[in-house]
Chains A and B, each alone.
Chain A
Amino acid sequence: MMPIWTKSGKKHAVTLLKVQDCHVLKYISKEDSGGKSPALIVGGKNGSPFSRSEAEMKIFREAGVPRKQKVTTFNVTEDAIIKPGTPLYAAHFRPGQVVDVTAKTIGKGFQGVMKRWGFKGQPATHGQTKTHRRPGAISTNKASKVYRGKKMPGQMGNVYRTSFGLKVWRINTKHDIIYVNGSVPGHKNCLVKVKDTKLPTYKDCNKNPPFPTYFADGDEKLPEDLYDEEMFQFTDPSVTYA
């Protein structure tokens, strides 16, 4: 994570996401998946082929691509279908777009009710016998049952969670890095899924993206760094208020 400054002098924190060896693996049509729209399976980050079964390796072999560690599905519209085997780059996104990031949160194991749900617990002194971090009462007398979904100790973390509405500030095409506003679930160097926002407030921000994706061997030659308009670039002179 890094700080970033805007041209008006405000500071924002930014997470760096690296796009490492992403390839489109398979195309599933609407009828096959039984859903509302066709789907594309995308894989990222190469890994060793020996720890997966033959059935799983079939997809990678048909696409002609080394075995990927993370495999996800994206629901796509009809006109955005890409041929399996095409590589995907960070330039697929542009600065100014808004993005949702999904990842598995840091696993904390079996945790008690104070850490997992933020309960207050009980006082440390004044006669408390063996009760300092317990949940206390779990239901009322009239209910005479415990409701489903009652907050209790259990597994915390290591669960897929999404942070919505993250703005893209900058894209580095040479190293394939996306600078995304704010924090992202997961630990350092974890595998992450980046998608266009589903929030209605940012519908206008995602206009004119590279459609269906950015092709490296195409005619478009991008500079090494793409910056958002409001972002302060370090080649500019210092910020002054006239």
Chain B
Amino acid sequence: RSSDAGPAKFKPPSKPVIVDKQRQTAERRFLSPEFIPPRGRTNPLKFSVERKDMIQRRKVLSIPEFYVGHILAVTTADPYANGKTSRFVGICIRRGGKGLGATFVLRNVIEDQGVEICFELYNPRIQEIQVLKLEKRLDDNLMYLRDALPEYSTFDVNMKPQSYLDHEEVPVNKLQVRMKPKPWSKRWERPNYNIKGIKFELPEEKMKEAQKWSKPWLEFDMLREYDTSKIEEKIWKEVNEELKK
């Protein structure tokens, strides 16, 4: 009788790969940029003392995670306003400063007048910071919105906060902004600003002339390197532990 080569070896079915999306995306760490100490000869004790104060303030007022390009609503205590609070809605143009003096600039166009207000993150007069729309832009610095057409900086003052899931990635808006005719406040076409979010409608010769000011050696300059990954991890752990208490 014909002999098979024994019974076919039992092949177990492939194990199902469980992708836990919650745990994966919870690994996304965001450390607010004002926690990272700048390069310098200051005593690290100063930064740790300052960080304690910042964490104390964060326990009282919850400062959400936000980047440049988000649309925020900030309520501050104002002694000269009705109801003693004033609310301002705008797009975050830039975040500056380190430590307790960290600031962010919100821009909006109200009744055809462009308004920019610079708020301090740790100012005790701020009652609430609300994120209305989550949206990262292509650049870190949106100062060119001053020379762009006003429609790109107008936002509804009574905008409802957009609901967003906690563990999704922050969406990047690849909007190319159209500008008013030149002259601009700064020469945004030059490579030292490194702007990717403008739709340049300039002739080709002007774009080539702007490339004359490019400094291709800057990215290879070793003295300018400041590797913050290890510092960031330490600080992130410290901040998270303190906030949980």
Which residues of A approach B to under 8 Å, CB–CB?
A: 2-3, 5, 9, 11, 16, 18, 172, 175, 177, 188-189, 232, 234-242
Within 8 Å of chain A (Cβ to Cβ): is B101?
Answer: yes
Question: Once the chains bind, are A5 and B45 in contact (CB under 8 Å)?
Answer: no
Question: Once the chains bind, are B42 and A188 in contact (CB under 8 Å)?
Answer: yes
Residue pairs across A and B with Cβ atoms less than 8 A apart, 23 shown, are: A2-B99, A3-B120, A3-B122, A5-B123, A5-B125, A9-B123, A9-B125, A16-B46, A175-B45, A232-B124, A234-B53, A234-B124, A236-B60, A238-B61, A238-B77, A238-B125, A239-B77, A239-B124, A240-B84, A241-B77, A241-B78, A241-B79, A242-B84
Question: Once the chains bind, are B50 and A2 in contact (CB under 8 Å)?
Answer: yes
Known: A2-B50, A9-B125, A188-B40. Is A237-B77 also a contact (CB below 8 A)?
no
When each residue 118-130 of chain B gets 1 if its CB lies under 8 Å from chain A and 0 otherwise, what string results? 0010111111000
Give Cα distance in the complex from A103 to B192, angstroms: 40
Chain B, Cβ-Cβ closest to A240 = B77
Contact of B49 among A5, A9, A16, A238 (CB under 8 A): A16
B87 to chain A, nearest CB (A): 14
Chain A, Cβ-Cβ closest to B56 = A234
Known: A2-B50, A3-B101, A175-B45. Is A238-B124 also a contact (CB below 8 A)?
yes
Q: Which residues of A contact B42 (CB under 8 A)?
A: 188-189
Give Cα distance in the complex from A188 to B125, angstroms: 30
Within 8 Å of chain A (Cβ to Cβ): is B22?
Answer: no
Within 8 Å of chain A (Cβ to Cβ): is B14?
Answer: no
Residue among A3, A11, A172 with max Cβ neighbours from chain B (10 Å): A3
Contact of B124 among A5, A175, A189 (CB under 8 A): A5
Question: Once the chains bind, are A9 and B77 in contact (CB under 8 Å)?
Answer: yes
Give Cα distance in the complex from A177 to B127, angstroms: 30
Q: Please list the 8 inter-chain residue pairs (A to B) with the smallest Cβ-Cβ separation, ordered nearest first.
A: A234-B56, A241-B79, A239-B124, A234-B57, A241-B84, A9-B125, A3-B101, A232-B124
Within 8 Å of chain A (Cβ to Cβ): is B43?
Answer: yes
A77 to chain B, nearest CB (A): 34
Give Cα distance in the complex from A189 to B77, angstroms: 37
Give Cα distance in the complex from A131 to B56, angstroms: 57
Chain A, Cβ-Cβ closest to B40 = A188
Within 8 Å of chain A (Cβ to Cβ): is B100?
Answer: yes
Known: A188-B41, A240-B127. Is A3-B56 also a contact (CB below 8 A)?
no
Residue among A16, A232, A236, A238 with max Cβ neighbours from chain B (10 Å): A238
Q: Which residues of B contact A16 (CB under 8 A)?
A: 46, 49
Given contacts A234-B57, A234-B124, 8 further A-B contacts (CB under 8 A): A3-B101, A16-B46, A177-B45, A188-B40, A188-B43, A235-B56, A238-B125, A240-B84
When each residue 36-58 of chain B gets 1 if its CB lies under 8 Å from chain A and 0 otherwise, what string results? 00001111011001100100110
Give Cα distance in the complex from A177 to B48, angstroms: 13
A215 to chain B, nearest CB (A): 24
Question: Once the chains bind, are A234 and B60 in contact (CB under 8 Å)?
Answer: yes
Question: Once the chains bind, are B123 and A189 in contact (CB under 8 Å)?
Answer: no
Give Cα distance in the complex from A177 to B45, angstroms: 10
Q: Which residues of B contact A3 (CB under 8 A)?
A: 100-101, 120, 122
Give Cα distance in the complex from A232 to B41, angstroms: 29
Give Cα distance in the complex from A232 to B77, angstroms: 15
